[in-house]
Amino acid sequence: MNNNRTKVFVFLLFYLLTFLPLRAQFRINLGGSSPLRKLQIAEMAINNLYVDTVNEEKLVEDAIKGMLKELDPHSTYANAKEVKAMNEPLQGNFDGIGVQFNMVEDTLLVIQPTTNGPSEKVGIVAGDRIVTVNDTAIAGVKMSKEEIMKRLRGPRGTKVKLGIVRRSVKEMLYFTVKRDKIPVKSIDAVYMIRPQVGYIRIGSFGATTHKEFMEGVEKLKAQGMHDLILDLQDNGGGYLQTAVQIANEFLQRNDLIVYTDGLRAKRTEYKADGNGKLLSGKVIVLVNELTASAAEIVSGAIQDQDRGTIVGRRSFGKGLVQRPVDLPDGSMIRLTIAHYYTPAGRCIQKPYKKGDLKEYEMDFENRLKHGELTNRDSIHFVDSLKCLTLRKQRTVYGGGGIMPDEFVPLDTMQYTRFHRQLAAKSLIVNANLKYIDNQRKLLKKQYPTFESFRDHFELPQSVIDGILEQAEKEKVKPKDDEELQRTLPYLRLQLKSLVARDLWDMSEYFQLMNAKNDIVQRALQLLN
């Protein structure tokens, strides 16, 4: 019935637009109509009357994007494919074969199979090269990473045949892998950084983050943890409810964690239940300019309730609440409906001009230019943004992001321009992949434990030389010898950490990298 009505309407619209005078058309299109009606008529007119063929689906998508563009920076549209890719890291799992991999010269190199995952169960090991999927070549054919992932992933229970090349084995090996649910970890590292001091780094706030976090807490308590460093550097956020769960572990009963408020979304408060497992002991939360959203909720709650110390640099300032609006084709609008506020009443969201996304995205460069990332004295707040913490009545400021209690400047001497260029060209990652691919067995034999690797391994100079030679071919050069010498120590540390990651896991990577992380080191000084 609705379809017939639509056809009749299209016919009448076509008749009116084709045969009535232009002035009459204008009155019919606009006179007395709602904005929604106006949009419907415009779309139908273009689709049915335009001189050339149009892609109706793209036309509608562009219209939606155009409307959202004039709102805030975080109201967005995503098509069905983008929605799926966006949700997987937060949902905590996906269906696949269970390998960490990277591309080396158009070939998929297995970095690590997932423990007890489908690939490990059939005998696939680190260092294997997957060259065919269901007898279709994926190596040496310039297939995109997305296309390869599409072939490897599939519904749980389905099977995929993999052709594998393995060092020291002449003939091709074939494995049939039964796809299964593959967990996606959101906790990057859990380890004892000092006696009685635990360290947990959260990469994002997903559906399984709280469970992973509590498993890490129990592990560290069993090792004697009394105080905790919670690392939220570079954490872009995630689920609000997960942030509330994490903050709840530190706060007393009825302590306010966060509240949301909007024009059409009434104020909603989230409070602690008093059953947390981390109600005692010192807490230090680490933040930087890429700490955002849910991570700012946790750090803001701990700061406002005077439960711990925030160390680092002012966080990103993403305090807008998005509600997903699912569309029939699997696409989604994420529409801002409210603001986040810390317990002391600070709005986390930094200022923005509606429709000016470019200026918003330039915030990091502007902070660096104005000296905010390198000098605390360059940061100025107006008195109207002043708030007081709820227990000790300390002064804190709203107006965008969480300002740390202990400021740690960005070390521009360590992160040189030359190093940033090497990373941008993927020269560091590629050199590590080639090295670990050639030396994996020898390194495993030579360093059976991470502790022996940490204390005795030194990166061969040949790896550094190879990077510098390739950099010269890519026309990437240090400004002078002084910049080169400043770059080399951090480059060696990064490469050693990457090797540790590929031999063990991310916890080992951060154990090494944190030795030169100024924010982590400042936290340790405060605990001492």
pLDDT at residue 89, as a whole number: 62
Q: Give me the chain's average pLDDT, please.
A: 87
pLDDT at residue 504, as a whole number: 93
- What are the structure tokens assigned to 303, written together? 């700061």
pLDDT at residue 19, as a whole number: 42
Q: Which of 293, 315, 497, 507 is catalytic?
A: 293
What is the percent of the chain with per-residue pLDDT over 90, rounded to a whole number? 51
Within a 13 Å sphere around the CA of 343, how many CA atoms are in the beta-carbon half?
26
pLDDT at residue 123, as a whole number: 86
Q: What is the pLDDT of residues 469-493, one digit of tens each?
A: 999 999 999 999 999 999 999 999 9
Q: What is the pLDDT of residues 434-468, one digit of tens each?
A: 899 889 989 999 999 999 999 999 999 999 999 99
**pLDDT at 21 > cutoff 50:** no
What is the percent of the chain with per-residue pLDDT over 70, rounded to a whole number? 93
Q: CB pairs under 8 A, 24+ apart, for 495-501?
A: 495/428, 495/431, 495/432, 495/435, 495/459, 495/463, 495/464, 496/457, 496/458, 496/459, 498/428, 498/429, 498/432, 498/436, 499/432, 499/435, 499/436, 499/443, 499/453, 499/457, 499/459, 500/450, 500/453, 500/454
pLDDT at residue 303, as a whole number: 98
Q: What is the pLDDT of residues 259-280, one digit of tens each?
A: 999 988 899 999 999 999 999 9
pLDDT at residue 275, as a whole number: 96
* Residue (of 488, 496, 493) closest to 436 by Cα position: 496
pLDDT at residue 24, as a whole number: 44
* Residue (of 184, 309, 297, 190) closest to 248 by Cα position: 297
Distance from C-alpha of 13 to C-alpha of 43, rounded to nearest angstrom: 12
pLDDT at residue 14, as a whole number: 45
**pLDDT at 20 > cutoff 50:** no
Q: Is 304 a catalytic residue?
A: yes
**pLDDT at 7 > cutoff 60:** no
Q: Is 293 a catalytic residue?
A: yes
The radius of gyration of the chain's CA atoms, rounded to the nearest angstrom, is: 27
Indicate the DSSP class of residue 483. Answer: H
pLDDT at residue 139, as a whole number: 85
Q: Which of 72, 188, 304, 505 is catalytic?
A: 304
pLDDT at residue 242, as a whole number: 96
Q: What is the pLDDT of residues 23-33, one digit of tens each?
A: 344 344 444 56
Q: What is the pLDDT of residues 200-249, one digit of tens each?
A: 999 999 999 999 999 999 999 999 999 999 999 999 999 999 999 999 99
Which H helix or E strand runs over 256?
Answer: strand 256-261
- What are the structure tokens assigned to 48, written together? 């049915």
Distance from C-alpha of 341 to C-alpha of 268, rounded to nearest angstrom: 10
- CA pseudo-torsion sign 510, 513, 519, 525: positive
Distance from C-alpha of 466 to C-alpha of 154, rounded to nearest angstrom: 39
Would you say 320 and 349 are in contact if contact means Cβ atoms under 8 Å apart?
yes
Global pTM exceeds 0.95: no
Distance from C-alpha of 117 to C-alpha of 179, rounded to nearest angstrom: 9
Q: Which of 75, 119, 318, 496 is catalytic?
A: 318
